[in-house]
Structure 1
Amino acid sequence: MAEPDAHEGGGCCAPAGRGAALPADARPRVPGDATSPGAPGLPAGEPHAQRVLLPGGTFLMGTDDADGFPADGEGPVREVTVRAFRIDACAVTNGRFAAFADATGHVTEAERFGWSYVFAGFLPAALRRGAARPRGTPWWCGVEGAYWRAPEGPGSTVADRSDHPVVHLSWNDALAYCRWAGARLPTEAEWEYAARGGLEQRRYPWGDELTPGGAHRCNIWQGRFPTKNTAEDGYRGTAPVTAYEPNGFGLYNVAGNVWEWCADRWGTEHGARHRTDPKGPAQGSSRVMRGGSYLCHHSYCNRYRVAARTANTPDSSTGNLGLRCAWDA
């Protein structure tokens, strides 16, 4: 396995490093498409599959927060309008993704490449020693055999994590799942509008204080990164998708837990003029990720703020990267 490289925008969050892209005939495929009779949508009665209908509207997107990362293109604050849409209340779970994989035979890019990135602290010493690591972010290990069903590599399982978010998904895998479910990935503007939960220019989906009244409201790193996680918020790795209180729109875990792919290509120039349903740059090799993850910590990756953003190449996968679906209203 070739030595990986960290993505320039946020290797601490979810490193890239696949090398050359897969040839076109090796890309993941889905039998049929979202308009075919076989596209099942969400399973009836699935408790983690609620869709929230949002009326849309105009909001202030982005931030000029002093704790932000200007180089990430978090600002300037600009007025954006989004039309009505539906969005998952929760990130897609292992259980929901298993239904997709079992129904379609989908093989993820982590499986095709034969490896994916796992946080070093989850691995036994022998596996850590032999793993390739991205330059500058040695807490990530490229682990052979790591993929969504074996998130920490061979011998690990999601049997007791069916209600946890599926991880080790590339942008291409996320898109394939959406097509099967009759859905799409949210635009970055839709994602931020939904994540804000009706609050204007607050730092987090619930307000400006990280732990209001001493209560943890998201799954992020507690302690000293990357050597000691006290797990004061209840989790060292992923948490169930309904952990913690939802935001004002009824969305769970839009801060922390796992990064979520968006439809947009990455760009840092937004302009200050009013825009309606922006869809990001027309060209670019990376795709936007939003929300932060269980590895985010204020000392290094303070990207669990609602306006924070980063990106990765569409064939990259890690143990803290999943998705949330959207639908036209």
Structure 2
Amino acid sequence: MSALAVSAAGGLEQPKCELCTPPSRVAQLLAANKSSAETHRATAVSDEQPSTLANNGLSGMVWIPGGEFSMGAVMNGSGSSEMPMASNDAGPIHRVFVDGFWMDATTVTNEQFEKFVKATGYVTIAERTPTKEEFPTAPAENLVAGSVVFAPTDHEVPLDNHFQWWTYVKGANWRHPQGPESDLKGKEKYPVVQIAYPDAEAY
């Protein structure tokens, strides 16, 4: 699980996109899509590091200063010319201001997450059986607990279909990252995986 982030206002930060565009390309993209260069400001704009950590549960976290960046992509009506797999709601490009926030200094380990589960009895999303209400069009035989596992190919494949290298595995979860036959033996200090956003929020 990626390091958790908590904003200065006290809320859990949504995961941020890890796809970055070089500054020079940002300038070009903004120029090509001037009408989208809108400014969106966070509700509370604060870059000041809180003065105390006393009794607020932030031990082991580091302060990340606030700042701004260009979010989005130039859309061509059927996706993005920069990212063909992007959906149309990835545009337009706009400036986003992010408040300063606290983030874990390290990723959450299997050992740490196990302590949390033992203390709370929490059941992760991957361990819960999907329901017909959640996935009305899914065949009944597919409504089983599990998660997506990386399955590298032995040959080159087009990059427009991620199902070619990710596969749903029944019984895959944080305890069994690759499926029922896998476990965490010797991996207690590894980052916990197969964690959904609600799981991170609960942690």
| TM-score, normalised relative to structure 2 | 0.47
Higher helix share: 2
Higher relative contact order (CA 8 A, sep 6+): 1
Highest CA radius of gyration, 1 or 2?
Answer: 2
| TM-score, normalised relative to structure 1 | 0.31
